[in-house]
């Protein structure tokens, strides 16, 4: 029986091709290909047992054990799951880690059930290599960095542009101590794959927010990061009251809504409150004990007022957090690197910076 393959091409990702990942769940959680659903040939425990057999007795013994573990009703349920997915996604393609035994076996079992679908030649590993190469290639593209103090809505500006790269969205983290979201931050692999997918359709100029190299659990790939450090930038300058309103929307209102959607109103409220309290605590060494305790009292009072309907009360702790911590830290960074700082093409308010980014992008 001839089992068809397709090349590990970025076109699969660009076309948002439905993908069936037959690796074990533990592998899938560590990093998947964009557009993939996990319908494993073997679950984690089965894979573990087969791995032991392979190490101790070789490939054939591992294959025989796998055939015993995944047989009968278990085999039928796995094939049924693949068939059901292909029925609703007729152009689906199969992959495993290297495009080897597991994806071939899934193909074979599907073919025996009357369904013919190809697998990715080289599997997850080959297509991941292409995705990582795309990020490295992007390091040579023209870049513009959007900088500014905390609360200047840099991410919002980025998302107004057709060539904007929202690194925080790919990391599922807003990039500061207060940036954690209800969902888990992206793994390094998923972050890289999401970034590469976005870059596939952007061969020209790129506009990217000024970020630390680490965003949540993810690190910006090194070549791409170095290119960002060299890139010219524009800097947004907005007054404190404007930035406080922006922070309240992003870090309080939007966060409360996200937690409520995920956990319900009561549990979502408690989880949000714990998260923001923990975020302050993580800054303890930098804030100092006296300042930390003052901000914690203000935060507790703000939550009590918030519970009574006054969400603006959060500005009482957000304002000193900006003026006493984030703003001095940012200005110190600018001063420290003033001799090596990349050229600033424009400094102005949010609207003028948006226009400057649009003009640069032409």
251 — pLDDT class (breaks 50, 70, 90)? confident
Alpha helices in 210-264 (DSSP H): 222-230, 240-247, 254-263
What is the rounded average pLDDT for all residues in the chain?
93
Residue-wise pLDDT for 9-25, tens only, equals 999 999 999 999 999 99
Query: Global pTM?
Result: 0.92
Q: In Å, what is the CA distance from 131 to each residue of 218, 303, 305?
A: 16, 44, 48
354 — pLDDT class (breaks 50, 70, 90)? very high
Q: Which residues pair with 233 in a beta bridge?
A: 145, 344
Q: How many CA atoms lie within 13 A of 335 on its CB side?
A: 6
User: By percentage, how much of the chain surpasses pLDDT 90?
Assistant: 80
Instruction: For 70-116, list the strands marked E by DSSP.
Output: 93-95
What distance in Å separates the CA atoms of residue 172 and residue 114, rounded to the nearest whole number?
40
**Residue from 235, 211, 245 nearest 352 by CA:** 235
> How do 19-21 and 36-38 pair as beta strands?
parallel
What distance in Å separates the CA atoms of residue 252 and residue 311, rounded to the nearest whole number?
8
What distance in Å separates the CA atoms of residue 344 and residue 232, rounded to the nearest whole number?
6
**Residue from 264, 325, 273, 269 nearest 294 by CA:** 325
Going along the chain from its start, the domains and CATH numbers come out as: 5-131 (3.40.250.10), 138-239+346-361 (no CATH), 240-328 (no CATH)
Residue-wise pLDDT for 24-79, tens only, equals 999 999 999 999 999 999 999 988 898 898 888 888 888 888 888 888 999 999 99
107 — pLDDT class (breaks 50, 70, 90)? very high
Q: Answer yes or no: are the C-beta atoms of 249 and 169 closer than 8 Å.
A: no
Please check the confidence at residue 176 and state whether its pLDDT lies above 80: no
pLDDT of residue 180: 83
Please check the confidence at residue 338 and state whether its pLDDT lies above 80: no
1 — pLDDT class (breaks 50, 70, 90)? low
Residue-wise pLDDT for 279-329, tens only, equals 999 999 989 999 999 999 999 999 999 999 999 999 999 999 999 999 998
332 — pLDDT class (breaks 50, 70, 90)? confident
Which listed residue (96, 132, 152, 353) is catalytic? 96
- Give ∠ CA 109-83-119 in degrees, rounded to 5: 60
Residue 96 is among the residues annotated as catalytic for this protein: yes
pLDDT of residue 213: 92
């Amino acid at each position: 029986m001839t089992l068809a393959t397709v090349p590990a091409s970025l076109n699969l990702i660009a076309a948002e091709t439905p993908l069936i990942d037959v690796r074990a769940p533990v592998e899938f959680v560590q990093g998947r290909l964009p557009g993939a659903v996990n319908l494993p040939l073997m679950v984690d425990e089965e894979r573990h047992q087969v791995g032991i057999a392979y190490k101790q007795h070789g490939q054939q013994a591992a294959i025989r054990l796998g055939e015993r573990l995944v047989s009968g009703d278990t085999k039928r349920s796995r094939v049924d799951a693949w068939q059901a997915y292909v029925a609703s996604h007729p152009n689906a393609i199969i992959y495993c880690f290297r495009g080897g035994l597991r994806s071939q076996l899934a193909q074979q079992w599907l073919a025996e059930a009357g369904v013919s679908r190809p697998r990715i030649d080289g599997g997850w590993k080959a297509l991941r290599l292409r995705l990582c190469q795309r990020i490295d290639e992007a390091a040579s593209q023209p870049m513009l960095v959007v900088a500014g103090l905390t609360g200047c809505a840099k991410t919002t500006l980025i998302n107004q542009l057709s060539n904007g790269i929202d690194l925080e969205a790919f990391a599922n983290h807003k990039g500061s101590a207060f940036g954690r979201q209800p969902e888990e931050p992206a793994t390094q692999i998923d972050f890289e794959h999401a970034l590469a997918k976005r870059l596939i359709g952007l061969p020209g100029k790129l506009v990217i927010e000024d970020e630390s190299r680490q965003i949540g659990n993810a690190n910006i790939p090194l070549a791409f990061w170095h290119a960002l450090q060299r890139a010219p930038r524009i800097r947004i300058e907005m007054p404190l009251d404007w930035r406080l309103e922006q922070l309240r929307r992003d870090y309080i209102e939007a966060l409360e809504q996200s937690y409520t959607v995920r956990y319900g109103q009561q549990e979502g409220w408690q989880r949000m409150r714990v998260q923001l309290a923990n975020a302050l605590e993580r800054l303890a060494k930098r804030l100092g004990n006296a300042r930390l305790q003052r901000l914690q009292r203000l935060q507790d009072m703000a939550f009590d007022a918030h519970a009574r309907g006054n969400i603006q009360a959060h500005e009482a702790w957000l304002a000193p957090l900006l003026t006493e911590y984030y703003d001095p830290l940012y200005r110190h960074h600018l001063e420290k690197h003033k001799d090596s700082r990349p050229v600033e093409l424009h400094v102005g308010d949010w609207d003028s910076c948006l226009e400057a980014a649009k003009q640069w992008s032409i």
